Amino acid sequence: MEFSPVKSQEFSIVYEKAKKWHCDPAVVYYLASSDNKFGVIASKKIGNAVKRNRAKRVVRAAFLELKDRLKPGIYVIITRANINDMEFSSVVKSLKWSFKRLEAEK
């Protein structure tokens, strides 16, 4: 299943209507839809540009591992400051748990 990027005007729709779950590395939003879209946000609270980009790369890599298990929909993940201190396996485990809680798994 291929995912396209979430457009900027779609973020507000996702924030209003989507299910949301907080986990250690991120806040995960899931909106059931026929579209397959994915977006990652890292605010300046994460740190400088290097740290923000690393956080986004880690989340994208974790999402790629899990994407085949997910239902179609729009996924937005907002990273938290402690994501750069976590191991990759724990990020994957937390996101997997979040998707399960949001009923986004097939």
Q: What integer pLDDT is reported at residue 106 of this predicted model?
A: 87
The pLDDT-based confidence of 1 (bands split at 50, 70, 90) is confident
73 CB-side CA count, 13 A: 24
Please state the length of the chain.
106
Q: Which long-range contacts (CB under 8 A, 24 or more apart) does 56-59 make?
A: 58/25, 58/83, 58/84, 58/88, 58/91, 59/25, 59/26, 59/83, 59/91, 59/95
| pTM (two decimals) | 0.92
